Chain A
């Protein structure tokens, strides 16, 4: 990945020779940029494994009855797909990759506050990932509980639940430490003159996210420990035959896992907020509203977990209460969408690949968000609970939201990360294929979901077959688009044209330094005097 940096005086972080050489200069790296890249390579690998598992499910569902796998295998496949995608891809995704790489640069710092802790969280992330994969290979067979590990099934099934939950516990620890690091970094390392309300909005989103990671993750940690204790010693927290309460597990699980959804989507919103003003060359509309809405989402997001449990036998009062709060949490999200669109209004829009991904993010996020309201109201939820409608909604938010924002971020920051540029045309084509494939894959699931197709079923009645086939075809289109996109990026990194320091005429700090940045990011500490979004 060498590029002709000899003519300039600086040495990029990719070439900097530290204490270690070769592969060890990566494994033992404390540089936030290298750690960010390491996370990115790992996460893209896991993403492709998860995508292949998803494709296997789509092949299985192409016709009723058994096509390529037995029901028990199918249970294992959707469980692993969920664990990989949730705990190893989307939760760490944006904050660990682009947060690590760009948070210090965006606030004008040399690194995060605790670089060694950062390296440690990367190591335990890998340890947790190895455990998650190991749970598939050990002799009791892959876990078949779904990624939610619902009790009492998870306390009684014979499969490797302990290993899988221990993996989730370790991954959670990594997430906590990353969040802790980011909060301290934002409080202590901002460049002189940068007040909280002078920060770019991606750091704002990361700040809100980090608080969720920090405060919600311990709850899942203790829950999974209790689950492990229950399996080992028949303790009886959750198993009704031992006096426990399975609903309590659902409460504890969603006290974490609902805020975790905001761990996925908040940084995604932050990325979009960076991209839109750059490609419209216009000051972001409603800076403070966006910043505060991030915190509001994080805060209210803690209190709405019960909307995953409407049909579980929860009390009537709890149901309307959670429904009310769920509708409230939609407001700050809508504020953001409104602000993005208002930013575009009368801007000089330049449609480049990152902007295309950002636009499709908004489109898909609106679909995902409004169907979320449908699920948030008790009456409709009871109808569509545990159907593929939920699956479709969820993928529109997590893949259409977080996934597309991840692709947007990669295309936006790629020239800064590698100092090279990818091929625009191929990137645009890949975007088109992905967008088409995505909608073909998931939109039919809304329809058959309303008609009664349950989620996590390996079989279905014949009347759903047309939609299932369309969905499966969409899956293949999507994966081929993804392959093209990654191919294009790898080509770009290897033999792309040299990228200028500021290819998009961005106004935030990362564009004021050379591409790729030097080890310490800034030659001299930047002094901030104004709003981050300022275009001539």
Chain B
């Protein structure tokens, strides 16, 4: 069967990832109560990015998928980042 190569994630691993995600959520909320100016946005996005990475690699099993798929996922995020950056070339200098 084609499925046999698929990876089975242990319950404990998933639970640990959840704990980490909860911790990061609380961290974001508490950080925004301090006034760090522009850094807050950067830090919250960084934390959101980390959380996204955890969900992608453990919950969505990306860590155990083929290199090709991982590259494709990365490519989509890079493309989106490029589109945002290029749009801001217009807005930042207008």
A and B touch in the complex (CB under 8 A): yes
| Stretch from B5-13, B57-65, B78-86 contacting the other chain | B78-86
One of A187, A302, A303, A306 near B90 (C-beta < 8 A): A306
A127 within 8 A of B: no
A333-B94 Cα distance, complex, nearest whole Å: 32
Q: Total interface residues on A, using CB and 8 Å?
A: 15
Identify which of residues 64-94 in chain B touch chain A, using a CB-to-CB cut-off of 8 Å.
68, 76, 79, 82-83, 86-87, 89-94
One of B76, B79, B89 near A321 (C-beta < 8 A): B89
A247-B88 Cα distance, complex, nearest whole Å: 12
A187-B72 Cα distance, complex, nearest whole Å: 13
| Stretch from A87-95, A106-114, A309-317 contacting the other chain | A309-317
Are A318 and B93 in contact, with the CB atoms below 8 A?
Answer: yes
A302-B79 Cα distance, complex, nearest whole Å: 8
**B89, closest chain A residue (CB):** A318
One of B86, B92, B93 near A303 (C-beta < 8 A): B86
One of B68, B76, B86, B92 near A306 (C-beta < 8 A): B86
Least distance between A240 CB and chain B CB atoms (Å) = 14
Q: In the complex, which residues of chain A have a beta carbon less than 8 angstroms from the beta carbon of B79?
A: 215, 302
Q: In the complex, which residues of chain B have a beta carbon less than 8 angstroms from the beta carbon of A314?
A: 90, 94
Residues of B contacting A: mostly? helix
A251 within 8 A of B: yes
Q: In the complex, which residues of chain A have a beta carbon less than 8 angstroms from the beta carbon of B93?
A: 315-318
The listed residue with most A CB atoms (<10 A of its CB), out of B82, B90, B91, B92, is B90
A303-B76 Cα distance, complex, nearest whole Å: 14
Are B76 and A315 in contact, with the CB atoms below 8 A?
Answer: no
Least distance between B50 CB and chain A CB atoms (Å) = 24
A318-B85 Cα distance, complex, nearest whole Å: 11
Please classify how large the interface on chain B is, using the bins under 10, 10 to 19, 20 to 34, 35 or more.
Answer: 10 to 19
**B76, closest chain A residue (CB):** A215
Identify which of residues 26-81 in chain B touch chain A, using a CB-to-CB cut-off of 8 Å.
68, 76, 79
Q: In the complex, which residues of chain A have a beta carbon less than 8 angstroms from the beta carbon of B91?
A: 315
A247-B89 Cα distance, complex, nearest whole Å: 13
Identify which of residues 263-293 in chain A touch chain B, using a CB-to-CB cut-off of 8 Å.
none
Least distance between B15 CB and chain A CB atoms (Å) = 33
Are B86 and A321 in contact, with the CB atoms below 8 A?
Answer: yes
Least distance between B19 CB and chain A CB atoms (Å) = 33
A255 within 8 A of B: yes
A244-256 interface bits toward B, Cβ cutoff 8 Å, 1 = contact, 0 = none? 0001000100010
Are A251 and B82 in contact, with the CB atoms below 8 A?
Answer: no
Q: In the complex, which residues of chain B have a beta carbon less than 8 angstroms from the beta carbon of A321?
A: 86, 89
Identify which of residues 284-336 in chain A touch chain B, using a CB-to-CB cut-off of 8 Å.
302-303, 306, 313-318, 321
Least distance between A327 CB and chain B CB atoms (Å) = 16
Known: A302-B79, A314-B94. A251 touches B89 (CB 8 A): no
A247-B83 Cα distance, complex, nearest whole Å: 15
Q: In the complex, which residues of chain A have a beta carbon less than 8 angstroms from the beta carbon of B87?
A: 251
Least distance between A102 CB and chain B CB atoms (Å) = 25
A317-B93 Cα distance, complex, nearest whole Å: 7
Least distance between B27 CB and chain A CB atoms (Å) = 30
Least distance between A183 CB and chain B CB atoms (Å) = 9
Q: In the complex, which residues of chain A have a beta carbon less than 8 angstroms from the beta carbon of B86?
A: 303, 306, 318, 321
A317-B83 Cα distance, complex, nearest whole Å: 15
Q: In the complex, which residues of chain A have a beta carbon less than 8 angstroms from the beta carbon of B83?
A: 255, 302-303
Are B90 and A315 in contact, with the CB atoms below 8 A?
Answer: yes
Least distance between B89 CB and chain A CB atoms (Å) = 5
Are B82 and A317 in contact, with the CB atoms below 8 A?
Answer: no
Q: In the complex, which residues of chain A have a beta carbon less than 8 angstroms from the beta carbon of B94?
A: 313-315
Least distance between A282 CB and chain B CB atoms (Å) = 33
**A318, closest chain B residue (CB):** B90
**A325, closest chain B residue (CB):** B86
A255-B87 Cα distance, complex, nearest whole Å: 10
A71-B94 Cα distance, complex, nearest whole Å: 36
One of A302, A313, A317 near B89 (C-beta < 8 A): A317
Least distance between B71 CB and chain A CB atoms (Å) = 13
Least distance between B67 CB and chain A CB atoms (Å) = 13
A110-B39 Cα distance, complex, nearest whole Å: 55
A339-368 interface bits toward B, Cβ cutoff 8 Å, 1 = contact, 0 = none? 000000000000000000000000000000
Q: In the complex, which residues of chain A have a beta carbon less than 8 angstroms from the beta carbon of B89?
A: 315, 317-318, 321
Q: In the complex, which residues of chain A have a beta carbon less than 8 angstroms from the beta carbon of B76?
A: 215
Least distance between A179 CB and chain B CB atoms (Å) = 14
**B86, closest chain A residue (CB):** A303
A-B contact pairs, 11 of them (CB 8 A): A187-B68, A251-B87, A251-B90, A306-B90, A314-B94, A315-B90, A315-B91, A315-B93, A317-B89, A318-B86, A321-B89
Binding site for B on A (CB under 8 A): 187, 215, 247, 251, 255, 302-303, 306, 313-318, 321
The 10 A-B pairs with the shortest beta carbon distances in the complex, nearest first, are A318-B90, A315-B93, A315-B94, A317-B93, A318-B89, A314-B90, A315-B90, A321-B89, A317-B89, A251-B87
Known: A187-B68, A251-B87, A318-B90. 16 other contacts (CB 8 A): A215-B76, A215-B79, A251-B90, A302-B79, A302-B83, A303-B86, A306-B86, A313-B94, A314-B94, A315-B92, A315-B93, A315-B94, A318-B86, A318-B93, A321-B86, A321-B89
